[in-house]
Amino acid sequence: MIHRQMGRQVASSTTVGSLQTGQGQENEKEVRRNGMTQTAKKSLYALGLQQPRFAYFNGEVRPWEEATLHVSCEAVNRGLNVFEGLKGYWQAGGVEFGIVELRRHYDRLSRSARLLHIPVPVSYEEFRDACSKIVRALYEPGKDMWIRATLFVVEGHWGESTVADLVLTAYHQAKDAPAPVAVGVSTWQRSSDISLSPRIKSSTNYQVARLARIEGKKRGFSEMILLNQQGRVAEATGACVLLVRDGCVITPPASEGRLESITLEIVRKICHSLAIPFIERPVDRTELHIADEIRLVGTLAELAPVTRVDEYELPPTSPLTDLIAETFWDAVRGVTPHPAVELTFV
Ligand X SMILES: Cc1ncc(COP(=O)(O)O)c(C=O)c1O
Contact criterion met (CB below 8 Å) for 63 and 15:
no
Nearer to ligand X, 239 or 320 (CB): 239
Nearer to ligand X, 13 or 228 (CB): 228
DSSP3 helix / strand / coil % (the chain, rounded to 5): 30, 30, 40
Q: How far is the CB of 85 from ligand X (least distance, A)?
A: 5
Contact criterion met (CB below 8 Å) for 304 and 180:
yes
What residues make contact with ligand X under the rule CB under 6 A?
85, 235, 238-240, 258-259, 261-264, 298-299
Nearer to ligand X, 69 or 262 (CB): 262
Amino acid sitting at position 294: I
Q: How far is the CB of 129 from ligand X (least distance, A)?
A: 22
Nearer to ligand X, 17 or 238 (CB): 238
Contact criterion met (CB below 8 Å) for 85 and 147:
yes
Rg of the chain (C-alpha set) = 20
Nearer to ligand X, 6 or 303 (CB): 303
Q: How far is the CB of 144 from ligand X (least distance, A)?
A: 15
Nearer to ligand X, 156 or 171 (CB): 171
Q: How far is the CB of 238 from ligand X (least distance, A)?
A: 4
Nearer to ligand X, 21 or 91 (CB): 21
Q: How far is the CB of 226 from ligand X (least distance, A)?
A: 9
Nearer to ligand X, 70 or 295 (CB): 295
Count CB-CB contacts under 10 A for residue 198: 22
Measure the CA–CA gap between 324 and 277, rounded to whole angstroms: 12
106 exposure class (CB count in 10 Å sphere: 0-12, 13-18, 19+): buried
Virtual torsion, Cα 85, 138, 173, 69, nearest 10 deg: -40
Residues 6+ apart with CB under 8 A from 78: 204
Q: How far is the CB of 37 from ligand X (least distance, A)?
A: 24
Q: How far is the CB of 237 from ligand X (least distance, A)?
A: 6
SS3 93: coil
Q: How far is the CB of 241 from ligand X (least distance, A)?
A: 9
Measure the CA–CA gap between 303 and 331, rounded to whole angstroms: 13
Within 73-114, strands assigned E span 81-90, 97-100
183 exposure class (CB count in 10 Å sphere: 0-12, 13-18, 19+): buried
Measure the CA–CA gap between 280 and 258, rounded to whole angstroms: 12
Nearer to ligand X, 41 or 258 (CB): 258
By C-alpha distance, which of 19, 17, 20, 21 is closest to 64?
Answer: 17
Q: How far is the CB of 340 from ligand X (least distance, A)?
A: 13
